[in-house]
Structure 1
Amino acid sequence: MNKKMIALRRELHKYPEVSNGEYQTTDRIVNFINEYKPDEVIRLGDKGVLFVFKGAEQGKTVMFRCELDALPIQEISGLEYASVNKGISHVCGHDGHMAIVAGLAQKISNDRPVKGKVILLFQPAEEVEQGACDVLENVNFKNNEPDYLFALHNIPGIKKHKIVLKKGSFASGSKGMIVKLTGKTSHAAEPQDGISPAGAISQIISKLHRLRADKSLFSDFILLTIIHIQLGEISFGTSPGYAEMRITLRAFENEDLRLLTSLCEKIVKEIAELEGLACEINYTEVFPATMNSNGCVDIVEQAAKQNGLDVEHIKTPYKWSEDFGYYTEKFNACYFGLGSGNEQPQLHNPDFDFPDDIMETGINLFYTIYKSTFSHD
């Protein structure tokens, strides 16, 4: 057991920071990895960072990515290293993912590439989708784009140390749809003098539910979830003139997500027009499906076997979304699962704590992936 990495993981766990506020987390990581003398430390804005280990000759670039951010959830674990930041906690395991990639830096510092370079990417703001987009737009990242890119996520409910793989779609694409409907307020005693969105809301809900149930339109799984509706004001004398709806759209395949988006917009706009309402539609937290390349999945599988690890090829992608999908749109990449235990609390639960005993597995697997990708150069 790598005690140094456990100590780092628990320090990161104790001082979590939410998306776009990971300043101290980044400083901790930079101070820790500087000990292993990377050839370059490249900042991506004021939070993201790349650590580059270079070979003497030109060659391919292999990148490993982890996440810096915690969640706005109050921890209830009672651990001695529990979060000291009220209402913020590492209950997704990003503290463990960071420690694994930091452990990879430790191993690479003693076994640097002969040619090409290996880059460790610590990315902010994964939980809110913005992080990967900002990284991809950063000129310092564009100057260091990978030939191969790998990342892992711990998976509760899967036996510890088991590796979870899937070619093609590994995790759903999703987006938050925001619908704003504007009519005209009136006195509640004279609703005919106004234009209420209430009827439109009712029709939209009904038609969206029928769309969700029609599986013939899509190649694979889709889901839409109505998460929030705000209609009018709490005033019994007023008939409402404004409403907002928020809907999460989800699909295993990016093409299905595009079609679902188009059909939802069509339903909303047609009903709004019939009801005499102005309609505005916006999107937030847009995550493409995470699409693994076959070659990178094969690399991970072979590395897992070399480490004596059990491998499970899942048939169905995960329903949750990951901003790693932005990378898989551009690069040869593999995002895979590392089992964190059958009894492990689920991700985002307030009592979640990343199990220290799977860190060594992650470090060794990443190291084997690093060695195998460079051996093919």
Structure 2
Amino acid sequence: MKQTARALPRLGNADIAELTDWRRLLHRHPEVSGEEAETARRVAAVLRATGPDRIVTGLGGHGVAAIYEGAAPGPRVLLRCELDALPIEERSDAAHRSTVPGKGHLCGHDGHMAMIAAMARLLGRTRPARGAVILMFQPAEEDGSGAARVISDPGFADLRPDFAFAIHNMPGMPLGHVALAAGPSACASRGMRLRLTGRTAHASQPETGLSPMPALAHLMPALTALGQGDPINDPGFALATVTHARLGTPAFGIAPGEADLFVTLRSLTDDRMERLIAEAESLVREAAAGAGLEADISYEDVFVTTTSDAGAVAIAVRALDRLGVSHGPGPLPMRPSEDFGRFGTGAALAFLLLGAGEDRPALHNPDYDFPDDLIPVGATIFSALIEEILGYAHA
């Protein structure tokens, strides 16, 4: 699989300065899942300047892909980043802090885009020796809908890769250290939305109505108890987390007639998720029937397990060893979910965590900010992966 031409492209100081400025521009103008139109426009403009063989826009909503063809036939390698920010108010004194109230790039997707934009510069100057590289800027990762929409988009049909790689920054790990391991890397999860409907009554005559309060009070601990407490690397791992509850209307004269409950279901494997769903739905139906209530169940934020292929991980290990980058399994598998897993259908996939510093605020914290020093580090790792699989046509 290795090629004889082994000239690894490097970013110059001017590249790094410009990419850092661009990352901070994105940080100042965050757009959440499904609303990334301006971010996608900025991405497409940056990509066009590198002279790709083709650009595809509007993938699965606002997704953008740039394709760089090699000189000879060969594998197709997809490198993926995310466009979307979070609906969280940023608390920062940085000059490049968010200018959009209630929204912020507090997961580092702005930095991931900068790393892939760096790859666009390098590939524009030095094509792979064979095959093709697909730079994928995916929409709507945070709510779990983006990858599925991209993959089902007709425009993705001729982009389907043989290999897929993604890097996600991870605070709490030493800066520049990489965590990777074959097998499940990130959990499956989904948001379970419950609506229990009975009948309102006057608060002085609650017996004339049908309150969902007893069923709601029963379901919160009962659903939570479905989590088996297994260690995260056990295939039986399951977790159910109550994230929101609402009972009736905020009034003193009305006995409630409806209730809402949000529960996040989480598992290491997709098979375990199917069993967890069945267990949770059975509890809900039983509680509703016992109380004479109607129950409606729906799901949002659906993530499948992200599973790293042993062969793709071995390629990444070779690349990291050649670069002298420290690596190990680290916190993998991890409880959080990652939309990247869907790109593993038909492709050998590897998901890498890149240390963002041991003392940096955690992801999704209101004061988190991506460390700019990781932009050239991530680009160098991606370049080494391409070299391992496709080689470079010239220095």
TM-score (norm: length of structure 1): 0.94
Select the residue among 262, 282, 287 that pairs with 1:266. 282
- Residue from 25, 49, 53 that aligns with 1:39: 53
User: Could you tell me how far apart the structure 1 residues matched to 2:346 and 2:210 are?
Assistant: 46
State the partner residue of 2:137: 122
Residues 307 and 316 of structure 1, relative CA distance in 2, 3 Å threshold: closer
How is 1:275-290 mapped onto 2 (pairs within 5 angstroms)? 275-290=291-306
Residue 217 (structure 2) aligned to one of 155, 177, 202: 202
Mapped contact 1:287–1:322 kept (Cα < 8 A): yes
Identity over aligned residues, as a percent? 37
Residue 337 of structure 2 aligns to a residue whose secondary structure is coil
RMSD between aligned residues:
1.9
Deviation of residue 4 (structure 1)? 2.2
Name the residue aligned to 1:75: 90
User: Which residue of the partner structure matches residue 10 of structure 2?
Assistant: none
User: Which residue of structure 1 lines up, in the alignment, with residue 33 of structure 2?
Assistant: 19
> Equivalent residues in 2 for 1:210-225 (5 A)?
210-213=225-228, 219-225=235-241
Say whether 1:245 aligns with 2:266: no
Measured after TM superposition, the shift of residue 329 of structure 1 is 4.2
Partner deviation per Cα, 1:248-291 (whole Å, 9 max, x = no partner) = 11111211111111100001101111111111100000111111
Deviation of 1:375 (Å)? 4.6
SS of residue paired to 2:185: strand
Shift of 1:215: 5.4
| 1:134-153 paired onto structure 2 within 5 Å | 134-153=149-168
Aligned length: 375
Residue 385 of structure 2: aligned partner? 369
Does residue 7 in structure 1 map to residue 21 in structure 2? yes
- Preserved CA contact (<8 Å) 1:65 1:123: yes
CA distance in 2, matches of 1:248, 1:209: 10
TM-superposition CA deviations, 1:110-134 (whole Å, max 9, x none)? 2212332111001111111111111
Helix, strand or coil at the partner of 1:211: coil
Residue 239 of structure 2 aligns with an amino acid whose one-letter code is L
Contact 2:69 2:127 in 1 (8 A): yes
Q: Which sits farther off after the overlay, 117-126 or 70-79?
A: 70-79
Q: Which residue of 1 aligns with 2:68?
A: 53
Tell me the distance in 2 between the aligned counterparts of 1:51 and 1:7.
21
Greater displacement, 237-246 / 361-370: 237-246
CA contact (8 A) 2:184 2:307 kept: yes
CA contact (8 A) 2:266 2:273 kept: yes
- 2:21 and 2:364 map into 1 onto residues whose CA distance is 22
Q: Deviations over 1:303-357 (max 9, x none)?
A: 1111110002136511111111222244211111000101111111222111111
1:44, 1:141 within 8 Å by CA — same for their partners in 2? no
C-alpha change, 1:215 and 1:333, in structure 2 (3 Å) is closer
Are residues 192 and 330 of structure 1, via their aligned partners in 2, closer, same or farther at CA, if it must alter by over 3 Å?
farther
**2:9 matched residue in structure 1:** none
| TM-score normalised per structure 2 | 0.90
- C-alpha displacement at 1:56, in angstroms? 3.7
User: What displacement does 1:161 show?
Assistant: 0.7
**Are the equivalent residues in 2 in contact too, given 1:231–1:240 (CA < 8 A)?**
yes
Maintained 8 Å contact 2:63/2:136: yes
The alignment partner of 1:255 has SS state of helix
2:325 is aligned with 1:309: yes
Unaligned stretches of 5+ residues in structure 1: none
Consecutive unaligned residues in structure 2, runs of 5 or more: 1-12
Distance 1:159 1:56, change over 3 A: same
